[in-house]
């Protein structure tokens, strides 16, 4: 126990300041009202959906929880069910074999809801493109509010995309 | 070249990997399969190609290994009704590959499981995407149809369906648990959800650019797949990458191994409710990834390994920074290993959980770190030791217990060994350049690449097309042979231990789904 506590104290607090929102990441005009976004922005719950990624974006989403980015300190956390979520964070081109599951997850998410498409694949279909097996970009399957490019996007870019989605435009 | 004293004429492939190809008939294939296990060899992978545009039928390709190298056997099948003998009786790892092969090319293993693997009713049953006459422009409506899972019956038995979307930040797949009380009686896996047509996509890329797609088969193994692809492409093109490039590739591969082990050692502890471990190891992993960014311009080292060598040299001053960081990380990991080892609650969860005994691991053909944790002493860095590993002398770690604790131990030891290798590589880095020109491959030239990634051996086999194109490219992730092991080693464990056991393997969904 002594070693464990020593390790925690020795490392101290590593959290770095979060990024500012960037309106250029918007895919569509703001769909939710500012009043609603002010509520969501104080306690946002995200459901991650891997729609067919290479797993690279998932590594960076995991990194959001590490001490440097510390996403939970901003009042943002991940939930196990879309029914508990305000936002879907969707990675990958949407694999044809995931199309129905992605639509169901979106339908299961209660209104008002936000969708952030993650990575070059989520934004454009990326290197996999569209084919018999791939529906391409996320917005081909469900409505998308914000797109975060990158292969994979850094945790910093992911945070920026998430914060952009919940930024009231009048603020 | 001969393998196992079989009467098969093998042609040796040029390049870094000791590999050979040979044509066989069904009887020769059967005799080879018969002789292989006795000689201590293993099944590696199988795939198919459509050769009807050359006035033939279909080819079945089966790759095996003995400790000497890789043997690729080719069996010609007729254009009408292309069936071949079922290999899954002798090599269980072939079962799912055979089902996938039917979905892609319509080549059927006689008498084997006929359920679809990659095809989930989302394209028609008579559409075989890898056939040369399959129209790439076709799009189909999504559909769902019931999948015949094997049912377990008896008093108090019920099923828990999980997925394809899982409860955490994890890749999609379906697990069907049959349980009584908390105890798992049976687990059946169903995958293919991430299938996005990678094999077909390769055919629209130039050979000189396929490494980018190969590096995205499984994002956590981008260096292993890109290196295997480049090894295959360089073999097909007759290109010899500079010595420095090989040493730099090994540096990247060991960095990828450590990055994944650091993340997983933390996440495994988290699944045993020891979140301290996750917090500490994720911090170390972040430091590690930032050093990748500083030295190579990418946190996960994507697109660094290219045909002919390496896309960029080490950034100035990066060697010293990396060596210093290795010392710092090693000190930290040793402290944390001490905390893990002394933590009674953690060890109580680790020990005996998800036990894969050596005999079963051998029968299933389990490879990579999961195999080594169950006494399967295979590691390409030792067995084949293509440059620069022939000069590095890798110490392989094995364990006999095959439980979560054994897999954690192997991971810790591999972190320490890879840290040693990185320091050694930096100290002995040869001078010169890191990139050679890639000549164009002759049409029909075949190449194979085989690299020990962090999860296990990664195979890429490709054939060059006309004018610098790719005619076919098969990527094999070690998760193919390792996933069935989880179905076995979960039996008798309790449901809440599944995430822990699963994470101790941390297999890929994207890799085999392709």
| Whole-number CA gyration radius for chain A | 17
B171–A49 CB contact, under 8 Å:
no
Q: What is the ipTM of this complex?
A: 0.94
The alpha-carbon gap from B421 to the nearest alpha carbon of chain A, in Å, equals: 25
- For B194, the closest of A11, A82, A95 (CB atoms) is A95
What is the sign of the dihedral through the CA atoms of B185, B190, B194 and B198?
A: positive
Calculate ∠ Cα A114-A41-B263, nearest 5°: 80
Q: Which residues of chain A have pLDDT under 70?
A: 41, 170-171
Q: Is the pTM of this model over 0.80?
A: yes
Q: What letter would DSSP give residue B435?
A: B
* Chain B residues with CB-CB distance to A151 below 8 A: 216, 302
pLDDT at A24: 86
Q: What is the pLDDT along chain B (514 residues), one digit of tens a residue?
A: 667 677 888 888 888 889 999 999 999 999 999 999 888 899 999 999 999 999 999 999 999 998 789 999 999 999 999 999 999 999 999 999 999 999 999 999 999 999 999 999 999 999 999 999 999 999 999 998 899 999 998 999 999 999 899 988 999 999 999 999 999 999 999 999 999 999 999 999 999 999 999 999 999 999 999 999 999 999 999 999 999 999 999 999 999 999 999 999 999 999 999 999 999 999 999 999 999 999 999 999 999 999 999 998 887 888 999 999 999 999 999 999 999 999 999 999 999 999 999 999 999 999 999 999 999 999 999 999 899 999 999 999 999 999 999 999 999 999 999 999 999 999 999 988 899 999 999 999 999 999 999 999 999 999 999 999 999 999 999 999 999 999 999 999 999 999 999 999 999 999 999 9
List pLDDT tens digits, range A36-61. Answer: 787 776 789 999 999 999 999 999 99
Q: Are A56 and B213 in contact (CB < 8 Å)?
A: no
Q: Is B288 on the interface with A (CB under 8 A)?
A: no
Instruction: Classify the C-alpha dihedral B389-B392-B393-B396 as positive or negative.
Output: negative
Asked if B232 contacts B461 with a C-beta cutoff of 8 angstroms, the reply is yes
The shortest CB-CB distance from A95 to any of B138, B196, B216 is to B196
Bridge partners of A134, per DSSP, are A95
Hey, what's the torsion of the CAs at A103, A104, A108, A114, to 10 degrees? Answer: -20
Residues 6 or more apart from B374 whose CB is under 8 A from it?
B356, B357, B358, B360, B361, B366, B399, B400, B401, B402, B406
For residues B447 and B465, what is the distance between their CA atoms, to the nearest angstrom? 12
Rounded Cα distance between A137 and A130, Å, is 8
B11 touches chain A (CB under 8 A): no
Q: Answer yes or no: do A56 and B196 touch at CB < 8 A.
A: no
Which of A92, A133, A151, A162 should we substitute to test contact with B (largest number of B Cβ atoms within 10 Å)? A133
Asked if B282 and A130 come within 8 Å (Cβ–Cβ), the reply is no
φ, ψ dihedrals at B102, nearest 5°: -65, -45
Give chain B's length.
514
Give the distance from residue B316's alpha carbon to the nearest chain A alpha carbon, in angstroms: 23
Query: Three-class SS of residue B78?
Result: coil
Q: Which residue of B has its CA nearest to A4?
A: B339
Q: Which chain A residue has its CA at the smallest distance from B193's CA?
A: A97
Chain B positions in Cβ-Cβ contact with residue A129 (cut-off 8 Å): 201
Q: Does the beta carbon of B212 lie under 8 angstroms from any beta carbon of chain A?
A: yes
d(CA B68, CA B2): 11
Distance, CA of B484 to CA of B187 (rounded, Å): 10
**How many angstroms separate the CA of residue A171 from the nearest CA in chain B?**
31
CB-nearest partner of A97 from B122, B138, B302: B122
Across the interface, whether the CB atoms of A152 and B194 are under 8 A apart is answered no
- Shortest distance between the Cα of B22 and any Cα of chain A, in A, equals 33
Q: A149 with A137: CB under 8 angstroms?
A: no
Does the beta-carbon distance from B140 to A59 stay under 8 Å?
A: no
B10 interfaces chain A, CB cutoff of 8 Å:
no
Of A127, A129, A134, the CB nearest to B212: A127
Determine the residue of chain A that is closest to B217 in CA distance.
Answer: A54
Nearest CB to B169; choose among A4, A48, A128:
A48
Distance in angstroms (rounded) separating the CA atoms of residues B489 and B503: 13
Name which of A48, A59, A97 is nearest B300 (Cβ-Cβ).
Answer: A59
Of chain B residues 297-316, which have a CB less than 8 A from chain A? 299-300, 302
Partner-chain residue, chosen from B127, B267, B510, that has the shortest CB–CB distance to A54:
B510
Concatenating the DSSP letter of every residue in B325-358 gives: HHHHHHHHHHHHHHHHHH-HHHHHHHTTTT---H
Q: Are residues B335 and A3, on separate chains, in Cβ contact within 8 Å? A: yes
Cβ B128 vs Cβ B106: under 8 Å = yes
**Are residues B190 and B508 in contact, defined by beta-carbon separation less than 8 angstroms?**
no
The string of DSSP codes covering chain A is -HHHHHHHHHH---PPPPPPP-GGGBSSS--S-HHHHHHHTTSEEEEEEESS--SHHHHHHHHTTSTTT-GGGGTEEE-SSGGG-SEEEEESS-BGGGHHHHHHHHHHSPSS-EEEEEHHHHHH-GGG-SSSSB--SGGGTS--SEEE-SSSPPHHHHHHHHHHHT--TT-
The closest CB to that of B138, out of A7, A97, A132, belongs to A132
Dihedral (C-alpha) A158, A160, A166, A169: value to the nearest 10 degrees?
Answer: -150
pLDDT score of B205: 97
């Amino acid at each position: 126990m002594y070693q464990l506590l020593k390790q925690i104290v020795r490392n101290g607090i590593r959290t770095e300041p979060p990024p500012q929102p960037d309106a250029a990441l918007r895919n569509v005009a703001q769909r939710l009202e500012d009043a609603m976004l002010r509520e969501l922005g104080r306690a946002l719950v995200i459901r991650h959906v891997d729609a067919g990624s290479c797993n690279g974006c998932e590594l960076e989403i995991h990194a959001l929880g590490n001490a440097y980015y510390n996403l939970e300190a901003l009042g943002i956390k991940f939930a196990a069910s879309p029914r508990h979520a305000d936002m879907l964070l969707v990675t990958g081109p949407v694999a044809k074999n995931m199309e129905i599951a992605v639509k169901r997850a979106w339908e299961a998410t209660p209104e008002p809801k936000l969708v952030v498409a993650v990575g070059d694949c989520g934004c454009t279909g990326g290197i996999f493109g569209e084919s018999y097996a791939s529906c391409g970009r996320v917005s081909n399957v469900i409505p998308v509010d914000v797109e975060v490019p990158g292969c994979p996007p850094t945790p910093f870019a992911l945070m920026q995309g998430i914060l952009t989605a919940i930024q009231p435009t009048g603020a | 070249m001969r393998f196992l004293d079989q009467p098969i004429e093998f042609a040796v492939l040029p390049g870094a990997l000791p590999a050979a190809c040979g044509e066989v008939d069904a009887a020769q294939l059967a005799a080879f399969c018969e002789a292989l296990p006795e000689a201590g060899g293993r099944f590696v992978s199988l795939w198919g190609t459509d050769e009807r545009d050359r006035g033939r039928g279909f080819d079945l390709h089966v790759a095996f290994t003995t400790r000497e190298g890789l043997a690729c056997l080719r069996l010609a099948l007729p254009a009408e009704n292309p069936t071949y003998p079922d290999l899954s009786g002798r090599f269980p790892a072939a079962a799912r590959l055979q089902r996938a092969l039917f979905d892609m090319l319509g080549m059927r293993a006689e008498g084997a499981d006929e359920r679809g693997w990659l095809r989930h009713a989302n394209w028609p049953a008579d559409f075989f995407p890898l056939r040369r006459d399959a129209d790439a422009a076709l799009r189909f409506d999504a559909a769902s149809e019931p999948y015949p899972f094997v049912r377990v019956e008896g008093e108090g038995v019920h099923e828990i369906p999980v997925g394809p979307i899982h409860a955490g930040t994890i890749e999609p797949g379906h697990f069907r648990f049959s349980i009584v009380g908390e105890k798992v009686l049976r687990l059946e896996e169903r995958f293919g959800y991430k299938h996005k047509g990678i094999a077909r996509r390769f055919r629209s890329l130039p050979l000189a650019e396929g490494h980018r797609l190969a590096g995205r088969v499984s994002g956590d193994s981008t260096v292993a797949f890109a290196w295997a692809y480049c090894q295959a492409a360089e073999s097909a093109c007759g290109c010899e990458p500079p010595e420095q490039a090989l040493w730099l590739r090994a540096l990247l591969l060991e960095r990828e191994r450590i990055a994944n082990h650091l993340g997983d050692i933390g996440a495994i502890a988290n699944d045993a409710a020891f979140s301290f471990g996750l917090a500490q190891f994720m911090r170390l992993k972040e430091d590690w990834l930032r050093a990748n960014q500083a030295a190579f311009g990418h946190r996960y080292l994507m697109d660094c390994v290219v045909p002919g060598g390496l896309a960029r040299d080490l950034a100035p001053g990066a060697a010293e920074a990396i060596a210093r960081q290795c010392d710092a990380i090693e000190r930290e990991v040793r402290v944390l290993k001490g905390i893990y080892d002394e933590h009674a609650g953690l060890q109580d969860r680790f020990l005996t959980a998800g036990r894969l005994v050596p005999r079963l691991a051998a029968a299933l053909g389990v490879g990579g770190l999961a195999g080594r944790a169950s006494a399967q002493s295979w590691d390409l860095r030792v067995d084949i030791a293509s440059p620069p590993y022939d000069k590095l002398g890798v110490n392989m770690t094995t364990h006999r217990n095959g439980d979560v604790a054994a897999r954690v131990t192997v991971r810790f030891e591999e972190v320490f060994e890879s840290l040693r290798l990185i320091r050694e590589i930096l100290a002995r880095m040869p001078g010169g350049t890191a990139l050679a020109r890639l000549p164009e491959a002759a049409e029909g030239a075949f190449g194979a690449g085989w690299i020990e990634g962090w999860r296990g051996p990664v195979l890429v086999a490709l054939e060059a097309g006309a004018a610098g194109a790719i005619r076919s490219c098969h990527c094999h992730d070690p998760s193919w042979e390792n996933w069935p092991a989880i179905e076995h080693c979960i039996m008798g464990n309790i449901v809440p231990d599944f995430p822990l056991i699963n994470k101790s393997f941390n297999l890929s969904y994207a890799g085999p789904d392709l």
